[in-house]
Amino acid sequence: MAAPLTESQVAKLSVDERMRLIEMIWSSFAPDDLPVPDWHQDVIEQRLKRMRDDPRPGTPWSEVREELRRSREANANSDS
């Protein structure tokens, strides 16, 4: 087995090499290795309840993006 990488060795890697290392480590986890914190589960349950209580579809991304663009432009114009 190869010796573990030290912090200084990792720091010497290029960004691409470090990203590949992160991907390798992340893909090595089994689903059961990553427990879901209780607060995550609470948020999921709250969102599911809200969806069941009001099943109307949300706003399409294209509309949200356009609204954000207009808001950003309005803010930029008001700063001038």
The answer as to whether 40 is a domain residue is: yes
The answer as to whether 12 is a domain residue is: yes
The answer as to whether 44 is a domain residue is: yes
pTM for this prediction:
0.46
Write out the residue range of the structural domain in which residue 50 sits. Answer: 7-79
The answer as to whether 2 is a domain residue is: no
The answer as to whether 22 is a domain residue is: yes
The answer as to whether 52 is a domain residue is: yes
Pure H helices in 1-60: 7-12, 15-27, 38-53
Give the total number of structural domains in the chain.
Answer: 1
- Band (pLDDT 50/70/90 cuts) for residue 2 is confident
- Band (pLDDT 50/70/90 cuts) for residue 57 is confident
pLDDT tens for residues 3-53? Answer: 899 999 999 999 999 999 999 999 999 988 988 899 999 999 999 999 999
